[in-house]
Structure 1
């Protein structure tokens, strides 16, 4: 043990090694007695920092110099961004470089480390914990969810079995009825022949009696009836029925059983958390003073055009007043067309995040998904008719629908084929939406997850939050319009703007997310009806009467 560092001895000054220490120089990392402090400070080549020994900071562990074994790196080279010893700084390879006080540099580095540690402890690690918790929750719910799917499959199988049993029993009943009729016909035929045979036996007996009697009177009066019986009784011929089983079409049987989309497992790029100092908001895109049309698409519909939905920046799906839905590019070229399953006019269309087309059939009360040109019914309603549809950021479907008795309207959220939310009344129990079944109620989800509905009959845009609580109603803006507000379609953009087509005033209203009017888009529009916005915030407007789609830059 060092004689001056023994626990039984007083700790002495590092300079004189005879007097107990009282102070400490944080720059040089040495302990000093009162007398040696003055001598130490006489070296003016350094900015010494002498403090009472008990108030000294933790002693930094200076690394040894790799080039000078007897030296420690107590200086910081700014150019090379590393600690160096005094010899290297004055005479070695770091000679002439800018240097700084290593303790000051250490203080700044320490502050940065503390900030990093705080962010890791209070924000980043917690997000990782949250992600693990969410995955564990999903794993916990997996058994239940897949159990429900299996139960649904069993129930659907039982339904089909019951239907098949009903059909089999109907066929058996028909067969039994045919058998009875067949037997009745044969019995009747037998009775007729037996009756004739009885008559024949009587005639033959009479003839034998006449022949034995030699009675001239009976013989002379005899009248032959043989010609009557030479025509045999009618024979009943019944064609035995046959059962002609149809070849089972497995594809149709699969479709009857129900559509099960393939499991989609996507590994998304992890979200990048912004630093604590950064503000979480999308890039600001100001509104243009003069929006401009950048492309016009002639859809080829002869009469009306009602819906447009973006597949990409240069391809859009359209829906008119017939059973055909068309995919066109900006040059008006028809890329593909699909007819509805039952030949009904689709009520609305939307494109999912996977690029598949969805359409509603209000006559057949279904919502249908088109994947690889195959139409699958994903939602079948009872007592309600689906109207308009949109796809959310979470790839759910939001559907507006009206009851069969035309007295109620609601918005329903579906995850796949499962209903997860229904929105119909405000906090006072009053209907949020009008219930006219013949007019559109287009729907869109905003970036802040608000649900926006353009209620044509109510002449209002009705916006509720993600939980279904009413946020506001927009009923138009008095400036620059001649007719009262008549909203058709509605859409939103990356800035959380709400855009709605004003059919009677031939313009688009732009609102902020709180329902405040910002401005109009005119661009010589004629009866704008359908709307959508692509990923670059280009607006596509379907003009009802011209059957054209205009692409408009407004940001």
Structure 2
């Protein structure tokens, strides 16, 4: 029976019939509870903030101390069934009903009175229990609703890829058979050799996928156990367990690496009896690529990617002719395909050889303000003419958001597949950054802690990017600054250029970030790119004979694509 419940029973069963003259001052056969101050009269009240029991005579004396706020209630109302209070480590006969915030440990009333926690903030342990329980509940909810389902989806995708692997390798084997039939007996040995090589590559591919499956399955098992443990802790209502609980969610927010297999094709030539082995067609080396797992949004830090040092001399590896005359923006679809937009209503998907793969015209007929590619590979564009944010899926334009009183500017897609959009008010007096999940506004970032505007209000081009540490980086051309806030919208720093900018002042336009959390911004008038670390410290420039660089993006291999404004070119640059 808990202490509080026993107190309640003592007060309600024969409490008034026991003469105080026949009782020991502090105990009796019925354990009548006495006032903590006078220690002679049965208690009737309880002061919650002071955690002290009082008789009716001592209530007035107690509350006369005006240095504290008192809340005296009938003792019976104070009695409630309580959680399993931990026993005090210092005083074995006491239970800890309080919590020392500075020492972060449960304490009993004797601990407090001993003076060891003098000056420390003391709280009710029930409040601490409530806070810890809420934290556990949030962890469990994130594991159940966000993290574990992503692992399930990954596991399902790997199984699908294994099934497709069987089909593709089956076709590859059939191709080898057909080529072998044309060459008859002379080619039999080569056919068997190629089929053996195919089977070996297939085995290695399957081994790689099975290993990936085992890793994901192991993580899922760990997640299940953690979720089960959290449920047990929450159900037990045990303060000791909740106080010592340490969250492991951050370990699982970065998903395991995803293995991608590339099935080779069989290249064949016309039959030449003297060169059968060469003409049959060779298989390229086995290729198994592993992509870094997606990172789900969280306030906690995630594991760092492999370090890629900056090259001393960045180099241009490809140049794409876009066909535009000026104002060129760019967004990567893959390592060799980029979406571009310029001075007209047409958005173009081009490869590294400048070949036009797809073109889409804006719904309004006006030029797109900015473009971005979502994590699903769809194109998003903002339209300043009709105040819309649009999604292009399967070549069909869907207007996701229509703004009232605001005009959209720069747009980017976040790690959590949200959209971040810069926008100006219709009267050009205000600017802000808004986060959308689908068509729902989740966050608006406009002022700093002192209520001052974060961004310039004059109509100008503002581009933005989300960094790997979840900072939001905005290139504010009018302010001549890169403005960086954290995930909550709190200002971290402003970068206004390097002292070496002597010819022209810092003139930022396009901005992007890479796997190292570098911030790269186009310095338009100075014909170069600034590379900063995640804390705004200047690292170096990229020149590469750039002329009026405007739009920027980085692909999954950290290749930089720079769209030049007047030359209608997009340059692919290796800088890491």
- Calculate the TM-score normalised by the size of structure 1: 0.51
Kindly state the Cα deviation for residue 342 of structure 1 after the two structures are TM-superposed: 1.5
1:457 paired to 2:478: yes
The equivalences for 1:287-302 within 5 A come to: 287-301=310-324
Aligned CA-pair RMSD: 2.3
1:384 aligned onto 2:406: yes
- The 8 Å contact of residues 502 and 509 in structure 1, kept in 2 or not, is answered as yes
Aligned to 1:209: none
Q: Would the aligned equivalents of 1:390 and 1:399 in 2 still touch at CA under 8 Å?
A: yes
For the structure 1 residues 271 and 360, does the alpha-carbon distance in structure 2 shift closer, same or farther, using more than 3 Å as the test? farther
Alpha carbons 1:346, 1:361 under 8 Å: kept:
yes
* Paired residues of 2:328 and 2:342 also in contact (CA < 8 A): yes
Structure 1 residues 185-221: Cα deviation after superposition (integer angstroms, max 9, x where no partner): xxxxxxxxxxxxxxxxxxxxxxxxxxxxxxxxxxxxx
Gaps of 5+ in 2: 1-134, 148-214, 220-250, 253-301
Which residue pairs with 1:527 in the alignment? 548
Whole-Å Cα distance in 2 between the matches of residues 506 and 271 of structure 1? Answer: 50
Q: Give 1:322-361 correspondences, 5 Å limit.
A: 322-361=344-383
Residues 269, 424 of structure 1: CA spacing in aligned structure 2 closer, same or farther, 3 A cutoff? farther
SS for the counterpart of 2:142 is helix
CA distance in 2, matches of 1:464, 1:130: 25
TM-fit CA distance, 1:285: 0.2
Distance in 2 separating the partners of 1:477 and 1:271: 48
Q: Name the CA shift for 1:407/1:294 in 2 (closer, same or farther; >3 Å).
A: same
Q: C-alpha offsets along residues 466-511 of structure 1, whole Å, 9 cap, x if unaligned?
A: 0000000000001265211000010000000000000010000000
Report the counterpart of residue 427 of structure 1 in structure 2: 449
Residue number in structure 2 paired with 1:307: 329
Corresponding residue for residue 306 of structure 2: 283
- Flag the 1:129–1:508 CA change in 2: closer, same or farther, 3 A: same
Shift of 1:128: 11
Q: Residue 491 of structure 1: which of 507, 512, 520 is its match?
A: 512
Query: 2:313 and 2:510 mapped to 1: Cα distance?
Result: 22
CA shift in 2, pair 1:128/1:373, >3 Å: farther
C-alpha change, 1:269 and 1:311, in structure 2 (3 Å) is farther
Distance 2:484 2:329 in 1: 21
Q: Deviations over 1:354-408 (max 9, x none)?
A: 0000000111000000000000000010000001100000000000000011100
For 1:505, the equivalent position in structure 2 comes to 526
Residue 347 of structure 2 contacts residue 360 of structure 2 at CA under 8 Å; is this kept in 1?
A: yes
Deviations 1:34-90 (A, max 9, x none): xxxxxxxxxxxxxxxxxxxxxxxxxxxxxxxxxxxxxxxxxxxxxxxxxxxxxxxxx
Q: Secondary structure of the residue that 1:434 maps to in structure 2? A: coil
Mark the structure with the bigger radius of gyration. Answer: 1
Aligned to 2:567: 546
2:333·2:377 contact (CA, 8 Å) conserved in 1? yes
The alignment partner of 1:378 has SS state of strand
Query: How far 1:454 sits from its partner (Å)?
Result: 0.2
**Superposed displacement of residue 133, structure 1:** 2.9
Instruction: Select the residue among 335, 338, 341 that pairs with 1:319.
Output: 341
Shift of 1:305: 3.4
What SS does structure 2 have at the residue aligned with 1:422?
strand
> How is 1:174-253 mapped onto 2 (pairs within 5 angstroms)?
none
Indicate the SS of the match to 2:389.
Answer: strand
CA distance in 2, matches of 1:138, 1:550: 38
Give the direction of change, closer, same or farther, for the CA distance of 1:548–1:135 in structure 2 (3 Å limit): same
1:15 corresponds to: none
SS at match of 1:133: helix
Matches within 5 A, 1:72-83: none
Distance, in Å, in 2 between the alignment partners of 1:497 and 1:536 is 14
User: What displacement does 1:300 show?
Assistant: 1.0
Q: Does the Cα contact within 8 Å between 2:364 and 2:385 map onto a contact in 1?
A: no
What's 2:141 paired with?
133
Residues 319 and 326, structure 1, Cα contact 8 Å, conserved in 2: yes
- Aligned mates of 2:515, 2:455 — CA distance in 1: 26
Matches within 5 A, 1:95-174: 132-134=140-142
- Structure 1 alignment gaps of length 5 or more: 1-126, 140-267
Does 2:445 align with 1:445?
A: no
Q: SS at 1:344's partner residue?
A: coil
Partner of 2:433: 411
Secondary structure at the aligned position of 2:333 is classed as strand
Length-normalised TM-score, structure 2: 0.49
